[in-house]
């Protein structure tokens, strides 16, 4: 099926897609905040600028869009048919960057969690809450 927009309109639409404060991210933030968790947003000093950072727990959460991060097996992770080579390279690069950033964070001692936009049910949010609060890092002695 051909695109319903011309190139300029499609380009404007794609450029308007936000990377921060998206609806899925706001759902996760509201859920965790309502349960007493406090966090920092988009910490630029950490690899990948995680969406939520729990410094005391040494934990980060990424709220990924299924299309942009190509959630495996998801109905929203469909590769566009127009300009397919560009999109394949672009989206594969996003996946590689995500893996590289998660590895760097883990290597630095952070716990990394990813929640997908298609999986924002009450059950998955509760599972994320339990995972984030499950094990706190060892306390440092203060002298």
The domain that contains 43 carries what CATH number?
Answer: 3.40.960.10
Instruction: Output the pLDDT for position 2.
Output: 64
Tokens of 83: 């300009």
Residue range of the domain that includes 87: 20-133
Report the domain count for the chain.
1
H or E segment at 133? helix 122-134
Average pLDDT over the chain, rounded to an integer? 88
Q: Does some domain include residue 27?
A: yes
- Give per-residue pLDDT as tens, 59-68: 999 999 999 8
Q: Does some domain include residue 139?
A: no
3-state SS string over 8-72? Answer: HHHHHHHHCCCCCCCHHHHHHHHHHHHCCCCCEECCCCCCCCCCEEECCCCEEEEEECCCCCCCC
Q: Does some domain include residue 15?
A: no
| Cα 34 to Cα 14: distance, rounded to the nearest angstrom | 32
């Amino acid at each position: 099926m051909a695109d319903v927009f011309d190139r300029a309109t499609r380009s404007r639409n794609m450029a308007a897609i936000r990377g921060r404060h998206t609806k899925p991210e706001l759902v996760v933030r509201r859920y965790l905040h309502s349960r007493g968790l406090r966090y920092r947003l988009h910490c630029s000093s950490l690899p990948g600028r995680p969406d939520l950072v729990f410094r005391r727990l040494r934990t980060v959460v990424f709220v990924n869009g299924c299309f942009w991060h190509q959630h495996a097996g998801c109905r929203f992770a469909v590769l566009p048919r127009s300009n397919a080579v560009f999109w394949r390279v672009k989206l594969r690069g996003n996946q590689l960057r995500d893996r590289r950033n998660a590895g760097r964070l883990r290597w630095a001692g952070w716990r990394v969690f990813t929640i997908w936009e298609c999986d924002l049910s009450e059950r998955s949010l509760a599972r994320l809450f339990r995972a984030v609060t499950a094990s706190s890092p060892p306390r440092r002695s203060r002298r």
